[in-house]
Every structure is written in C-alpha cells, then in structure tokens.
Amino acid sequence: MSLPAWHGNTTRGGAGHAGARGTLSGALRSRWSSWRMSRDLHLTKHNDSASGNERKRRVLSGVQPTGRLHLGNYLGAIQQWARYQYDFDCWFCVVDMHAITVPHDPRHLADETLSTAAMYLACGIDPSHCHIFVQSQVPAHAELAWMLNCITPMGWLEKMTQYKDKKQRLGDDAPVYLGLFAYPVLMAADILLYRAECVPVGEDQRQHLELARDIARSFNYTFCRKRKPHKLPSVFREPEALILPEGAGVSRVMSLTDGTSKMSKSAASDVSRINLLDDADTIRNKIRRCKTDAERELRFDDPARPECNNLLHIYRAITGNRPKADIERELAELNPSGWAGFKERLAEALVSFLSPIQQRYHEVRQDALYLEQILAQGQQAANAVASETLRAAKEAMGFALPSDQHRVFGLGIEIQERATSSTTSVAKPSVSSAMAREDPAD
Ligand code: AQP
C-alpha cells in the first residue's frame, strides 16, 4: 500500500489493491476466483459501474473476536460487507482490542481472532478487493483512542446504551473496567483513522457512529478550524451510516430462545444462537427446541409474535429474499397443522446455507500460511493509512514530532511557509495540498 485514498488513486486496481495483489501467489488468486464463481456463495453480484475514474467511497467495519460468529453477525454484517466490497474501498478488521473490554480468556483470544478473519474469507470477503486486518496489529488505533479520550466528555459516554446493557449483563457485583466505558471512543478511532466515509451499522451501533461524528467534528473545530494564527485543514472526516436497503436482508437477528433480544455471541445459552460453524445435528436440534408461540398461522411482521417474525425473517434471508407473501403461501401449504413442518424446513435450509461457508472456513484454517499472508498484507496497508492520519492528528494537537514526520500532513511546513513567505519560497508538499483541497469543512 502506498498512499491513502485521500491522497490519490483508489479506484479498483489503484495503488492499495495492486500492492496487495502483487504479493499474492497465483494459487491463492485462483482459489479466490473459484470461490467467487461458486454457485453456493450466496452473494448478490454487483456491477462495477461505481469504479470508472472516480474514487470509491471508503467503508470500514469489524467484528469482535469474542467467540464464534453466529448467524446474526453474518446476516447483519458480513453478508453486507461481501456485497459492498466491489463498489466501495473496503477495510474490514477483526477488532480484538474491543474483545478485551469484557473479561476474556487469553488462551483463546489469538485463536478466535484468526477464526474470525478466516470466517470473513469463508463468507466471501475477497482480499483482492478489500483489506482484512487485525486491529491490535495497527498501533495507531490505541494511540488515537487515547488522544480522543482526552477530548471526549464523560457525559457523552454515559449516554451510550450499549455500555449500560453490557454493564447490566456483567451483573451487579462484577467490576466494570474503564475499557468498557471508553470503547465507543476506540471505535471512533477505528473509523476516523481511515477517514472512512461509510460505516455499515445495525440499529444497535447507530449511537456509536453518532458519537464518532461528534468527536470528529469537535476535534476538527478545536484543533483545525479554530487554530490560530492559521486555521488548518480538517484531519477527520465525519462518517455516514451505511444502512441496509429495505428488503435486502435482516438488520437484526433475534435470539432463538427470546425473540425480543438480539442473537449474541456472549449470551449465556448456546441454544439461543446458530453459530456459523454448528454442525447439521446441532442446527436441527436448536431449531427443534427454539421458542415459538401458540398460533398456527405463520405470518411476517406481527409485533405481538417476535419469535415467529424472527424465524420467518431468517428463513427468508437464507432462501433468496423472496417476497414475504410468497413465503407465507409456501408455508401455509406446507404446514397446515402448525410449526413442525416449518421448523424442519428452516433447519434444512440453514444446514445447506451454512455448509459451503463451513467448508471454505475449514480450508482457510488448515492453510495457516495463507491466512497469515492475507493478514500481513492487510496490516501493512492499514498501518500506512492509519499512521498518516495519526501523524496529522498529532500535528494538529500540537505534539512535537520527529522532523521527518512533519511533511505528512504538511502543517509544520505550511506554517513555516506562511511565516517566511516574504523571504523564502518553500515548495508545498503535494500531500498537504491534496488534503487541503479535499477538506470537506472548507
Ligand atoms: N443479532 C444480530 N443481528 C444482526 N446483526 C448483528 N450483529 C451482531 N449481532 C447481530 C452485527 O455484527 C457486527 C459485529 O458485531 P460484534 O461482534 O462486533 O459486536 P456485537 O454487535 O456486540 O455482537 P455480539 O454477537 O452481540 O457480540 P458480543 O456478545 O460479544 O457483544 C455488528 O455490525 C453488529 O451490528
């Protein structure tokens, strides 16, 4: 990876991706093409009309390696990423530093991190079209998070409902650590470091995205626009939410044992979720035991029947997103006597939906070198972008930087240039002018 997006060409085949592809072996590339051509890949094909000469908008997202990924993570997040990757400049990370904000077992963290990355690949995230990396391998995340902690009012964080929920889930007697309270700031740092324009978010993450926007705005105002004697170009871009289009999938998959709470890795009971790696018997058993209701008719969108609604939406999502009326008709014919036939059909649909993902996952996990190579390339690319934004943020905040780092954002040079313009002519670094031109606030 040579330059970040706002410094130049990031169209498909631009410097970043070319760099990443350049070191991938032919065998790995051909593995990817055969996977992508697999009829089982469950991906909606997108054409490439967004590329042309225009810069693609940048997307950043991640999943915490807090356990095995489940159907909610897939339908609510990773499946959408796989769709975005051809039209956007996508960066997907495994956010392992978020995973330690609740008590964790150090014996499992590395394995779960690698499993999560392998699952990205198995779910169709294609490293020749996006960057996949591990958050803790890019030190700028922690460094920027600290800087942003120092400008984020506690009152903003106290309003975060996820914090309150997670704190409650830990129990009254459990200690709550600072990391859990501050993790939305780390998430803001994750996003802002890459100057991501779009962040795919479910409803549950919307509040955190708003916080990231508030932090970006506050930083840009305080350290760039209000800066004396000369205002500076904004360092951060305010990210927008990338919302799942109506009918394109399931934005929130609910627990199998309680249709009013979301399917979650950290829920105590494993039968509350379908893990992406559950074998066929486990899936059948979980669906057989899942909560239903006393009514026989299977209809979408009845708020009084959260379990029915959830199971129907899952069935729809894994069988091609057909119109709801078609599914209701199909199930009425299949199932005049109640839930039994539907549960059986749902279980079989899940087994065949997950089977190709599982097969690819095991292939990737068995090839440790392949995964290592993908993550090393992702790390290199992410480091290049993140460290430049970090330097810019440090310069704006007034840190003393080593002299060779002043040029990155150009602030030191610009200030020097203004101060000496009557006597000396200093060539303006192109990076600085590119950034200034693109500053959304100016
Ligand atoms: N049930 C869900 N339905 C739809 N989307 C979901 N996501 C998670 N659960 C569902 C989406 O997955 C992405 C990554 O989530 P995460 O693992 O980083 O954190 P989370 O949202 O807190 O997921 P979990 O499974 O509940 O993890 P734990 O239990 O560790 O907190 C996000 O885009 C999220 O919206």
Given a contact cutoff of 8 angstroms between Cβ atoms, the answer to whether 183 and 200 are in contact is no
The reply to whether 157 and 71 lie within a common domain is: yes
Residue 425: enclosing H or E segment and its boundaries?
none
Question: Which candidate in 56, 167, 231, 262 is catalytic?
Answer: 262
Total domains, the chain: 2
Q: What pLDDT, on the 0 to 100 scale, is given for residue 41?
A: 36
Lateral strand order in the sheet of 198-200: 130-134, 89-94, 58-63, 198-200, 240-242
> Closest ligand 1 atom, CA of 204?
35
> Closest ligand 1 atom, CA of 200?
33
Given a contact cutoff of 8 angstroms between Cβ atoms, the answer to whether 83 and 45 are in contact is no
The reply to whether 47 and 191 lie within a common domain is: yes
Residue 82 is assigned to a structural domain of this protein: yes
Least confident of 34-48, 193-207, 247-261: 34-48
Q: Tell me the pLDDT tens digit for each residue of 24-77.
A: 445 555 555 555 444 333 333 334 444 455 789 999 999 999 888 999 999 989
The residue whose two tokens read 């313009």 is 421
Distance CA 312, CA 377 (A): 40
Q: Ligand 1 pocket check: which of 73, 78, 93, 108 to mutate, most ligand atoms within 8 Å of Cβ?
A: 73
Residue where one domain finishes, among candidates 376, 391, 406: 391
- Burial class of residue 292, CB neighbours in 10 A (0-12, 13-18, 19+): middle
Residues within a 6 A CB radius of ligand 1: 63-64, 66, 72-73, 76-77, 202, 204-205, 252-253, 262-266
Give Cα 294 distance to the centre of its chain. Answer: 38
> Closest ligand 1 atom, CA of 251?
4
Given a contact cutoff of 8 angstroms between Cβ atoms, the answer to whether 179 and 100 are in contact is yes
Q: What pLDDT, on the 0 to 100 scale, is given for residue 441?
A: 41
Question: Which candidate in 56, 159, 164, 166 is catalytic?
Answer: 166
Q: What pLDDT, on the 0 to 100 scale, is given for residue 46?
A: 36
Ligand 1, atom 18, lies closest to the CA of: 63
Distance CA 237, CA 254 (A): 33
CA of 30 from ligand 1 middle (Å) equals 32
Residue 40 is assigned to a structural domain of this protein: yes
Of residues 335 and 424, more confidently modeled: 335
| Angle, CA of 194, 200 and 206, to the nearest 5° | 100
pLDDT-based confidence at residue 245 (cuts at 50, 70, 90): low
Q: What pLDDT, on the 0 to 100 scale, is given for residue 68?
A: 87
The reply to whether 190 and 277 lie within a common domain is: no
Q: Ligand 1 pocket check: which of 264, 266, 313 to mutate, most ligand atoms within 8 Å of Cβ?
A: 264
CA of 204 from ligand 1 middle (Å) equals 8
Of residues 77 and 5, more confidently modeled: 77
pLDDT-based confidence at residue 222 (cuts at 50, 70, 90): very high
Ligand 1, atom 12, lies closest to the CA of: 73
pLDDT-based confidence at residue 435 (cuts at 50, 70, 90): very low
The residue whose two tokens read 């330097």 is 391
Residue where one domain finishes, among candidates 339, 361, 383: 361
Distance CA 371, CA 359 (A): 15
Q: What pLDDT, on the 0 to 100 scale, is given for residue 230?
A: 82
Q: Ligand 1 pocket check: which of 59, 61, 63 to mutate, most ligand atoms within 8 Å of Cβ?
A: 63
**Crossing angle for the helix pair 368-397 and 340-366, nearest 10 degrees?**
90
Residue 61 is assigned to a structural domain of this protein: yes
Residue 248 has phi, psi (to 5 degrees) of -85, -5
Residue 421 is assigned to a structural domain of this protein: no
Distance CA 35, CA 123 (A): 10
Our CA dihedral for 184, 186, 190, 192, rounded to 10 degrees, sits at: 80
pLDDT-based confidence at residue 336 (cuts at 50, 70, 90): low
Is there a catalytic annotation at residue 262? yes
Residue 141 is assigned to a structural domain of this protein: yes
Is there a catalytic annotation at residue 265? yes
CA of 367 from ligand 1 middle (Å) equals 27
The reply to whether 27 and 127 lie within a common domain is: yes
CA of 72 from ligand 1 middle (Å) equals 7
CA of 67 from ligand 1 middle (Å) equals 11
Ligand 1, atom 31, lies closest to the CA of: 266
Q: What pLDDT, on the 0 to 100 scale, is given for residue 3?
A: 26
**DSSP conformation letters of 214-260:** HHHHHHHIIIIIS-SSS----S----EEEPPPTTSS-S-PBPSS-TT
Question: Coil, strand or helix: which one is 91?
Answer: strand
Strands 58-63 and 89-94, bridge-based pairing:
parallel
pLDDT at 324 over 70: yes
CA of 401 from ligand 1 middle (Å) equals 38
pLDDT at 176 over 60: yes
**Crossing angle for the helix pair 178-193 and 161-170, nearest 10 degrees?**
140
The reply to whether 131 and 45 lie within a common domain is: yes
Ligand 1, atom 23, lies closest to the CA of: 264
Q: Tell me the pLDDT tens digit for each residue of 265-284.
A: 888 899 999 999 999 999 99
The reply to whether 220 and 290 lie within a common domain is: no
**Crossing angle for the helix pair 411-419 and 430-438, nearest 10 degrees?**
100
Q: Provide the whole-model pTM.
A: 0.81
CA of 241 from ligand 1 middle (Å) equals 16
pLDDT-based confidence at residue 196 (cuts at 50, 70, 90): very high
The chain-wide mean pLDDT, for the chain, equals 82
pLDDT-based confidence at residue 11 (cuts at 50, 70, 90): very low
The reply to whether 148 and 66 lie within a common domain is: yes
The reply to whether 228 and 274 lie within a common domain is: no
pLDDT-based confidence at residue 166 (cuts at 50, 70, 90): confident
The reply to whether 25 and 56 lie within a common domain is: yes
Residue where one domain finishes, among candidates 361, 377, 412: 361
Residue 94 has phi, psi (to 5 degrees) of -95, 110
Read off the CATH number of the domain in which 297 is found.
1.10.240.10
Distance CA 18, CA 171 (A): 49
> Closest ligand 1 atom, CA of 201?
33
CA of 135 from ligand 1 middle (Å) equals 17
The 3-state DSSP composition of the chain as helix, strand, coil percent (nearest 5) reads 55, 5, 40
The reply to whether 39 and 185 lie within a common domain is: yes
Residue 161 is assigned to a structural domain of this protein: yes
The reply to whether 119 and 236 lie within a common domain is: yes
Closest C-alpha among 190, 134, 221 to residue 389: 190
Distance CA 10, CA 4 (A): 8
pLDDT-based confidence at residue 15 (cuts at 50, 70, 90): very low
Q: Please state, for a pLDDT cut of 90, what percent of the chain lies above it.
A: 63
pLDDT at 21 over 90: no
Question: Which candidate in 164, 228, 231, 265 is catalytic?
Answer: 265
Q: What pLDDT, on the 0 to 100 scale, is given for residue 242?
A: 87
Q: Tell me the pLDDT tens digit for each residue of 394-425.
A: 999 999 998 776 654 444 434 333 333 333 33
Residue 199: enclosing H or E segment and its boundaries?
strand 198-200
Residue 434 is assigned to a structural domain of this protein: no
Q: Ligand 1 pocket check: which of 204, 206, 253, 273 to mutate, most ligand atoms within 8 Å of Cβ?
A: 204
Read off the CATH number of the domain in which 210 is found.
3.40.50.620
pLDDT, mean of residues 305-328? 95
Q: Tell me the pLDDT tens digit for each residue of 339-395.
A: 889 999 999 999 999 999 999 999 999 999 999 999 999 999 999 999 999 999 999
Residue 418 has phi, psi (to 5 degrees) of -65, -40
The reply to whether 319 and 230 lie within a common domain is: no
Q: What pLDDT, on the 0 to 100 scale, is given for residue 430?
A: 36
Residue 229 is assigned to a structural domain of this protein: yes
Domain that holds residue 241: 5-249+366-391
